[in-house]
Amino acid sequence: MKNLKKRLKQGDTLNGCWLNLGSPLTAEIVGQAGFDWVLIDLEHGAGSEKDALYQLQALEHTAAGVIVRVESAESQRIHRVLDMGAEGIMCPKISNPAEAQKVVNGLHYPPHGSRGVAKMVRATGFAQNFNQYYEESRDTILGVVQIETVEVLNHLDDVAALDGVDVLFIGPADLSMELGIFGQFDHPLFKEALHETVNAARKAGKATGILFFNPDDYQRYHDLGIRLIACGADATFVADGARNLAKKLDGFRSVYR
């Protein structure tokens, strides 16, 4: 474990990015780049749970902690990637406290949740470290719920107050779409939702997170108190690098033809 939960509780700012290609090679490259954390995206990414296992193995020797975004709050989806060794779970489209509680239940073993017990899994060193893993898991497994719907804006305090919800993570694309202002991150409605989310998390002693698309927006969100920060993705890095180089070479060709 890379102590993401502990560091957030201490007030540290953690920089991360998305992994959506499903590739252990790009995961390893990104993990070695200097990010504090990465997110393996099983909601929209190209990879499957099996691919997530290979990415977790590739990231093991890097400094980056690993959060996995599951497709839903179904317990089986959460259990499987935790057993593979994920340090945190992000669940999309949480709209009310009952849905958030379902996520929490999947994160933790009884009596604090309903996570199924399996010793012969990667997270426990294939049964070598189960007792230690069991005892430490409540303090190390990070629970992240995404604030992406209009409905959840009416329940922010109740969601943030749940024991096991550690981060309210704003999904700007989905939230702005739901608000009818897609991509307008300077719109008063989006700004209001942003402030309400940060305030609810702060009152409950929890952290707030966000994914943004322009690194120049860093100060804007950091000044609001957002500490789990994500910008970019492995697919973006590859696409931007390829396009920029192709454009540069094309420019040389026009000069030296």
What are phi and psi for residue 24, nearest 5 degrees? Answer: -65, -25
Percent of the chain past pLDDT 70, that is, above it, reads 100
Task: Tally Cβ neighbours within 10 Å of residue 134.
Answer: 14
Q: pLDDT of 188-234, one tens digit each?
A: 999 999 999 999 999 999 999 999 999 999 999 999 999 999 999 99
* Torsion angle, alpha carbons of 118, 121, 123, 124, to 10: 70
Give the distance, in angstroms, between the CA of residue 45 and the centroid of all CA atoms in the same chain. Answer: 13
Q: pLDDT of 40-59, one tens digit each?
A: 999 999 999 999 999 999 99
Among residues 44, 112, 195, 222, which one is catalytic?
A: 44
Rg of the chain, C-alpha, whole Å: 19
Q: What is the DSSP string of 54-71?
A: HHHHHHTTSS-EEEEE-S
| Helices 75-84/97-107 angle, 10° precision | 40
- Catalytic site includes residue 44: yes
The pTM for the full model equals 0.96
CATH no. for 4-256: 3.20.20.60
